[in-house]
Amino acid sequence: MKSYKNTDIIGTSHIAAQSIKEINDYFKKQKPKHVAVELDAGRLHGLMSKAKPSLSPSNILSLGLFGYFFMLIGHILQQKLGRLVGIEPGSDMLHAVRLAKENKLRVYLIDRDIAVTIRRLSKEFSFREKLRLIWDFLRAPFMRKEFGFETNKISLSKVPEKEIIKKILVYLKKRYPGIHKVLIEERNEVMAKRILFLINNFPEEKILVVVGAGHEEGLFDIISNTKRKL
């Protein structure tokens, strides 16, 4: 967890039981007044209603060919990992939303619209990166030490250590700069602006921000650096 003044940022794993427990413990001890989550309206509705995302090929027109396949593969992968640990993907965010509602707190959706992100991904993902992705997919079973640590030793039920997350993000930025730019950098900028809005409007009230662990450090850096410049 990273803290800045009245705001605490909890980095979670979307399928880790540890994340749900951490959010639950935070509510009991800190009693936040405002809750912000890494969701947009569409994804929140999907989690609340348990509706499956539309995977119709007709979405190719609006999302782009690569964006559509990226969404499709991501959905299948998350569902598979979720079944392995017995937790629905997104349970961390949904738990934070439900606790906020139980305590009559307003929920702030700080992430960019998923459709915008996927369209941006289709545009920024270069041909070279696509070839790399295919190659990495083929050699995935033999990439245990690609990031400088044993990937098979990572527990799906826990949030990865911060050092491991940093190594993965460095690798992603170097090998897939387009993906890193769209999924990490651009979304961090969007979410940081919305978090700063909350900080400026509720300076005396505790704010909880729940985001994926890969965003925690980046958001904190943007927020703290921006506030110092003001």
Per-residue pLDDT of the chain (230 residues; tens, 9 = 90+): 999 989 999 998 866 788 899 999 999 999 999 999 999 998 898 888 876 655 556 555 555 656 666 665 565 555 544 454 445 678 899 999 999 999 999 999 999 998 898 888 888 878 888 788 777 777 665 555 555 555 555 555 566 778 888 888 888 899 889 989 999 999 999 999 999 999 999 999 999 999 998 999 999 999 999 855 44
> Running DSSP on this structure, what letter comes out for residue 205?
S
| Residue boundaries of the structural domains of the chain | 2-229
pTM of the model: 0.80
Q: Starting from the edge strand earliest in sequence, which strands make up the sheet with 2-4, in order?
A: 2-4, 7-12, 207-212, 34-37, 106-109
Q: What are residue 12's DSSP bridge partners?
A: 212
The 10 Å CB-count burial string (b at 16+, else e) for 83-111 is eebebbbbbbbbbbbebbeeeebebbbbb
- The CA-CA-CA angle for residues 68, 70, 76, to 5°, reads 105
The answer for residues whose C-beta is within 8 angstroms of residue 149's C-beta and 6 or more apart is 164, 167
The total number of residues shown for the chain amounts to: 230
